Amino acid sequence: MIEIGRGTLSKMSARLDGPVVQYGFRLGDSEVPVNPLIGKTLRLEYLGAIHCIHCGRKTKTSFSQGYCYPCMSKLAQCDVCIMSPEKCHYDAGTCREPGWGEQFCMTDHVVYLANSSGIKVGITRATQLPTRWLDQGASQALPIMRVATRQQSGLVEDLFRSQVADRTNWRALLKGDAESVDLPAVREQLFSTCADGLVELQARFGLQAIQPVHDVDPIEIRYPVQEYPGKIVSFNLDKNPVAEGTLLGIKGQYLIFDTGVINIRKYTAYQLAVHQ
């Protein structure tokens, strides 16, 4: 086999080309297109080293998808409020990195509906669309609210997830595309059911801080998959350093082989060689 790239792995780049997602391996400073590899034999080899994506320190274990333990313990981007934005403690003066928080959290966020393994509600920075949807493997997506801060988006999400899920079933994601859903109708139902809670949040933070979005159409997304697996088997590079087989497709951050599936994002910061 021929080596086509090696280096520190990052999550795959993903962009829409029409309705179809185009992917690229990111290995250090280089990028290798992945879509042309579908239908061919591909070998991923973990080279036995992990280097923190923040400080570059060699670490035996990757924490929070790519960090060493000291960085995971001190960086704001690894704090509990990243996974649970409603727990933001910036106003309490205890943010790990106030400057980072001002840049990434005190900025416009979007609350959205996505259909990947079924309907879910999610949040992201406004600048991260549609990348966030591509990373999740959503086949449909729709922004439904624009809010002023990450904490406020988390509070809105917390309100909506009393009615819809906030997680993706990755096994269902890899068994095929979810059945099409009328997302605008789901949006209106959520607005109606959660009206009192939304009014309370607007009263707390200001009417302009939490605004519904009505003038955007749902986006339809297609993934380059030739065939979905009948049985889901996952590669684990920590137990076996090689993942190899015929590449059948790509969805979200998953590579689908005829021999198993692998979540590329899980192995951020791993030193990897790719062979064709």
Q: What are the tokens at 241?
A: 């350093």
| The pLDDT of residue 86 | 93
Q: Give the pLDDT band (50/70/90) at residue 49.
A: very high
- 33 part of a folded domain: yes
How far apart, in Å, are the Cα atoms of 112 and each of 10, 11, 90?
25, 22, 24
Distance CA 3, CA 258 (A): 20
Q: 216 and 124 share a domain?
A: yes
Residue type, 212: P
Distance CA 120, CA 129 (A): 16
Q: 229 and 182 share a domain?
A: no
If one counts the domains in the chain, the total is: 2
- 38 part of a folded domain: yes
Given a cut of 90, whether residue 177 has pLDDT beyond it is no
Q: What is the DSSP-derived secondary structure letter of residue 165? A: B
* Residue pLDDT, tens place only, 220-265: 999 999 999 989 999 999 999 999 999 999 999 999 999 999 999 9
Mean pLDDT of 96-123: 96
Q: What is the mean pLDDT of the chain?
A: 96
How far apart, in Å, are the Cα atoms of 214 and each of 118, 141, 218?
22, 14, 11
End-of-domain residue from the set 177, 203, 220: 220
* Domain membership of residue 234 as a residue range: 3-50+223-275
- 91 part of a folded domain: no
Q: Give the pLDDT band (50/70/90) at residue 19.
A: confident
Quote the crossing angle between the two packed helices 195-205 and 150-160, to the nearest 10°. Answer: 160
Given a cut of 90, whether residue 18 has pLDDT beyond it is no
Given a cut of 90, whether residue 121 has pLDDT beyond it is yes
Given a cut of 90, whether residue 190 has pLDDT beyond it is yes
Q: 112 and 214 share a domain?
A: yes
Q: 133 and 210 share a domain?
A: yes
Q: 233 and 186 share a domain?
A: no
Q: 150 and 234 share a domain?
A: no
- 81 part of a folded domain: no
| The pLDDT of residue 17 | 87
Quick check: 253 and 264 in contact, CB under 8 A?
A: yes
pTM for this structure? 0.94
- 76 part of a folded domain: no
Extract the runs of DSSP E, i.e. beta strands, from 116-230.
119-125, 140-147, 210-212, 219-220
Q: 229 and 197 share a domain?
A: no
* Residue pLDDT, tens place only, 137-152: 999 999 999 999 999 9
